[in-house]
Amino acid sequence: MMKNLLFALLLFPIFCFAQEIPEKANLITVSKTGTAYALFTDVRILLTKKGIEIANLDKDSFDIKTGLIEVKGSGSSYYEFFCRDNQIIISGKRKKSNESPQGEGKTTTDFEAITNTGIKDSPTKLSFEAMKEMSKLFGAKLKYEVSKYYQ
């Protein structure tokens, strides 16, 4: 009995500080000490080390966009990193293929924002989980947000 109580008390702080990820969260902010330029450089170097293609590098606004990355069970996604003083804001879009309504076998490719929606193991949920894992590469202090401006 005493062991169980002690174990529960040891786990209590972990559960108290774990942030619930909001439904439809589409931005992940990594809190990290450094200037926008220093964080921009860190992101660029880490992506290069991981072998992730950089599709666009904006040295004036400290923004980076990756090339398409294959996400198991979800298709392809790309991520955008907005480096600001003391934070890296990460968002992404996933490729969504649609059959032509005329049934001609043609497909069109659209992109949709990666959000925390869907059921477990659905393509949308897997895309968000992959973005969350990518975010953890840059720091441990993560904040999940819903932004209507990034859809």
132 CB-contact burial (10 Å; exposed 0-12 / middle 13-18 / buried 19+)? middle
**pLDDT (tens digit, 9 = 90+) per residue, 43-76?**
999 999 999 999 999 999 999 999 999 998 888 9
With beta carbons less than 8 A apart as the criterion, state whether 89 and 135 touch.
Answer: no
What amino acid occupies position 72? K
- What is the per-residue pLDDT for 1? 59
Within 8 A by CB and 6+ apart from 21, the residues are 116, 132, 144
Cα R_g (the chain), whole angstroms: 18
Residue 97 has pLDDT above 50, yes or no: yes
Stated as kind and residue range, the H or E segment containing 123 is: helix 123-136
Residues 123-148: tens digit of each pLDDT? 889 999 999 999 999 998 999 999 98
**Over the stretch 2-25, which tens digit does the pLDDT of each residue have?**
555 444 444 444 444 456 889 999
Average pLDDT of 112-118?
91
Task: Enter the tokens of residue 64.
Answer: 């980076």
Phi-psi region of 43 (alpha: psi -120 to 50; beta: other; left: phi over 0): alpha
What confidence score (pLDDT) does residue 9 get?
A: 44
